[in-house]
């Protein structure tokens, strides 16, 4: 009898603790009142990561993390309507509270640790907060304090109309403003599709913001029906896609997009967005869809390469989001519509659908890995490169290096956070991310300086197994003189490709030419004796790929595990070393030496 009482008491205490912390397990969920309930259908083809959503409703608002059965692993009743609940690259969570007019930041244990608001009396907007790996905040704001006389612009225009302007702010980790841009100074009022006869006019209505590959801002403005690229240093508009000031030719898409949400640059370079289709005429064309465009920024073309239109049609006049998942599926939040969420494969097969039972909706919904337990006995996740060196010829140029993280375990691993310190280095890739078992994850780190000189930083990658530290070094060579060209790199060993590899990979290297680089020993031929050797992780030589005199030029050498000298190589980490001596037959001259790491996965 005493044992049963102890068990019962332990169960009651555990339930109280879970309820107090806001974390609910499946057994407690059915006893909770007021939490949104869902109708869910899904198949084995859907992603298995957790779903993040925030209910936008006149009912009791919530932020939630749920599984594919609708069971919450975390829920919290917010003070005001909740928007844009999502994990950030630094391992935190954020959401906007409408009543408190700010974004709240939670740690991984759901403790409130900070809040973020716009600066300079700009009202914080609900739509977007991006926490960059360096700790800076990208945030949208709005300013309702502008007046304009529109009586001469449109018949029936007010003599003193209130104009809502949207603002982009980048704020550092110490809450100092480092960049600000607004539509009042850069857009014309007539760019809008809003009714100019109103007393208050939301000209642009920004609803998404992110850093593009080249370091500039990519912004979605719903009421001008455009995606705009803005220079992150000068604030100049680089281009406008869609709307009245459209600079692009649309290919394979006669409709274009209207009153859209959430423009995102995909890892493949394309741009995805959610096309609400609001006010599209004739009425038969009023439907919403997820779109993917291949954008040629030089020739100014936007080619529709993928779209998803639900059957039957879903029409969402507002809200909405589309996310390309790591497994290739697309996760669509329909906003102000039913169903609330749909996940489809690249072939447009529906594999997941969620609808609210009651009168709830969600502005956005996301899928991300979360709640991974710490693993103490797994194989470390490794990076195939130990450092990133960047060189650009002038300020505002962009350089990038690909990082490949390899998981040799028989289970999935999560990259739980990724951080650095300097604004000049950035990672336009969504984290947290998952590395599947015996697989790899690739992403690029970018360098864009706005000052000359040298920059150093450290990229810290945290997984649920180990931490990886990668030194970052950037150099702006604006001080190179035409009379002194030899300061540039005269020999180069590149990262093998593909990496990881099986069964073969190519190693590329360059030996300097007399017209571009100085001799290693004055007066000698620029050629040299070259060796390219492969070593295992213990430093033992396992293959010699090159051992000969070579003339200046670029060389491509293939390592194939099917060839005689490499058939016995097991899976694992290997190093390849390029050594170049000047043309001294006895290898007594000056030497160039560089080593890189590669991974063989059989």
Q: What is the domain-level CATH number for residue 535?
A: 2.60.40.2550
Residues 28 and 22: beta-carbon distance below 8 Å: no
Residue 570, pLDDT score: 86
User: Lowest-pLDDT range, 186-200, 392-406, 550-564?
Assistant: 550-564
479, 511, 537 — which closes off a domain?
479
Task: Kindly state whether residue 5 falls inside one of the protein's structural domains.
Answer: no
436-452 confidence digits (pLDDT tens): 999 999 999 999 998 87
Return the H-helix or E-strand segment holding 15. Answer: helix 2-21
Residue 12, pLDDT score: 35
Higher pLDDT: 453 or 399? It is 399
Residues 387 and 407 in one domain: yes
Residues 472 and 387 in one domain: yes
Which residue from 550, 542, 538, 584 is spatially nearest to 567, judged by alpha carbons? 542
Task: Kindly state whether residue 106 falls inside one of the protein's structural domains.
Answer: no
Task: Kindly state whether residue 255 falls inside one of the protein's structural domains.
Answer: no
- How many Å is the maximal CA-CA distance in the chain? 96
Residues 456 and 491 in one domain: no
Task: Kindly state whether residue 469 falls inside one of the protein's structural domains.
Answer: yes
86 pLDDT exceeds 70?
Answer: yes
Residues 420 and 489 in one domain: no
356 pLDDT exceeds 90?
Answer: yes
Residues 501 and 528 in one domain: yes
479, 511, 545 — which closes off a domain?
479
Could you give the percent of the chain with pLDDT greater than 70?
Answer: 87
Q: How confident is the model at residue 300 (pLDDT cuts 50, 70, 90)?
A: very high
Residues 475 and 489 in one domain: no
Residues 592 and 504 in one domain: yes
Domain encompassing residue 399: 373-479
Task: Kindly state whether residue 181 falls inside one of the protein's structural domains.
Answer: no
Q: Which residues, in sequence order, are CB contacts of 409 under 8 Å at separation 6+?
A: 375, 378, 379, 437, 438, 465
Q: How confident is the model at residue 485 (pLDDT cuts 50, 70, 90)?
A: very low
User: Lowest-pLDDT range, 42-51, 259-268, 435-444, 521-530?
Assistant: 521-530
Q: How confident is the model at residue 512 (pLDDT cuts 50, 70, 90)?
A: low
Residue 513, pLDDT score: 47
Residues 490 and 602 in one domain: yes
Residue 30, pLDDT score: 40
Task: Kindly state whether residue 318 falls inside one of the protein's structural domains.
Answer: no
368 pLDDT exceeds 80?
Answer: yes
Residues 415 and 466 in one domain: yes
d(CA 335, CA 274): 10
Residues 444 and 403: beta-carbon distance below 8 Å: yes
Residues 496 and 575 in one domain: yes
Query: 399: which strand partners?
Result: 447
479, 506, 531 — which closes off a domain?
479
Helix, strand or coil, per DSSP, at residue 127: strand
Q: How confident is the model at residue 281 (pLDDT cuts 50, 70, 90)?
A: confident
pLDDT (average), residues 276-280: 94
Task: Kindly state whether residue 412 falls inside one of the protein's structural domains.
Answer: yes
Task: Kindly state whether residue 416 falls inside one of the protein's structural domains.
Answer: yes
What's the domain count of the chain?
Answer: 2
Residue 15 is encoded by which pair of tokens? 């339930």
pTM of the model: 0.79
For residue 443, the domain's CATH number is 2.60.40.10
d(CA 169, CA 179): 6
101-154 confidence digits (pLDDT tens): 999 999 999 999 999 999 999 999 999 999 999 999 999 999 999 999 999 999
pLDDT (average), residues 493-501: 87
Could you give the percent of the chain with pLDDT greater than 90?
Answer: 68
Residue 34, pLDDT score: 76
d(CA 593, CA 136): 38
Residues 428 and 463 in one domain: yes
Residues 453 and 564 in one domain: no
pLDDT (average), residues 310-336: 97
Residue 565, pLDDT score: 56
pLDDT (average), residues 400-404: 92
Residue 572, pLDDT score: 85
Residue 351, pLDDT score: 97
Mean pLDDT of the chain: 87
Residue 334, pLDDT score: 98
d(CA 268, CA 145): 41
């Amino acid at each position: 009898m005493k044992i049963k009482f102890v068990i019962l008491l332990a169960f009651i205490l555990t339930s109280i603790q879970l309820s107090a912390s806001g974390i609910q397990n499946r057994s407690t969920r059915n006893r909770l009142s007021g939490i949104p309930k869902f109708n869910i259908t899904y198949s084995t083809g859907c992603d298995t990561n957790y779903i993040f959503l925030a209910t936008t409703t006149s009912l009791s608002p919530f932020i939630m993390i749920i599984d594919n059965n609708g069971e919450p692993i975390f829920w919290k009743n917010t003070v005001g309507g909740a928007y844009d609940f999502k994990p950030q690259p630094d391992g935190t969570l954020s959401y906007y509270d409408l009543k408190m007019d700010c974004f709240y930041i939670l740690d991984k244990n759901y403790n409130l640790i900070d809040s973020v608001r716009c600066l300079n009396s700009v009202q914080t907007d609900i739509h977007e907060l991006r926490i960059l790996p360096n700790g800076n905040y990208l945030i949208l704001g709005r300013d309702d304090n502008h007046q304009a006389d529109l009586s001469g612009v449109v018949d029936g225009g007010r003599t003193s109309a209130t104009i809502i302007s949207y603002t982009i702010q980048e704020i550092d980790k110490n809450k100092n403003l480092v960049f600000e841009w607004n539509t009042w100074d850069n857009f014309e009022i007539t760019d809008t599709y809003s009714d100019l006869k109103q007393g208050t006019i939301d000209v642009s209505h920004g609803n998404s913001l992110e850093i593009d590959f080249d370091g500039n801002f990519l912004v979605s403005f719903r009421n001008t029906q455009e995606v705009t690229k803005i220079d992150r240093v000068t604030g100049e508009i680089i281009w406008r896609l869609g709307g009245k000031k459209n600079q692009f030719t649309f290919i394979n898409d006669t409709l274009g997009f209207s009153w859209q949400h959430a423009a995102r640059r995909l890892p493949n370079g394309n741009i995805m967005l959610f096309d609400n289709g609001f006010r599209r005429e004739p009425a038969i064309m009023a439907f919403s869809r997820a779109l993917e465009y291949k954008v040629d920024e030089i020739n100014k073309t936007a080619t529709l390469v993928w779209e998803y239109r639900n059957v039957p049609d879903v029409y969402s006049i507002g809200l909405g989001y589309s996310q390309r998942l790591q497994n290739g599926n697309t996760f669509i939040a329909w906003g102000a519509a039913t169903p609330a969420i749909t996940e489809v494969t690249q072939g447009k097969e529906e594999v997941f659908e969620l609808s609210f039972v009651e009168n709830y909706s969600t502005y956005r919904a996301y899928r991300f890995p979360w709640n991974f337990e710490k693993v103490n006995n797994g194989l470390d996740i490794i990076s195939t490169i130990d450092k990133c060196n960047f060189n650009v010829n002038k300020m505002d140029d962009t350089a990038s290096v690909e990082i490949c993280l390899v998981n040799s375990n028989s289970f999935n691993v999560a990259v739980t956070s990724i951080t650095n310190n300097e604004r000049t280095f950035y990672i336009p890739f969504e984290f947290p991310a998952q590395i599947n078992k015996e697989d790899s994850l690739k992403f690029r780190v970018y360098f864009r300086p706005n000052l000359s000189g040298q920059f150093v930083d450290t990229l810290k990658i945290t997984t649920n197994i180990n931490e990886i530290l990668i030194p970052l070094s950037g150099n702006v060579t604006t001080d190179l003189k035409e009379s002194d060209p030899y300061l540039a790199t005269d020999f180069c060993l590149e990262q093998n490709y593909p990496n990881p590899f099986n069964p073969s990979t190519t190693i590329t290297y360059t030996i300097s030419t007399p017209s571009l680089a100085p001799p290693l020993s004055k007066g000698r031929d620029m050629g040299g004796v070259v060796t390219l050797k492969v070593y295992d992780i213990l430093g033992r030589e396992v293959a010699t790929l090159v051992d000969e005199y070579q003339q200046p030029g670029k060389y491509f050498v293939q390592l194939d595990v099917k060839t005689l000298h490499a058939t016995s190589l097991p899976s694992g980490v290997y190093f390849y070393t390029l050594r170049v001596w000047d043309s001294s037959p006895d290898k007594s001259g000056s030497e160039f030496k560089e080593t890189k790491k590669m991974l063989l996965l059989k």
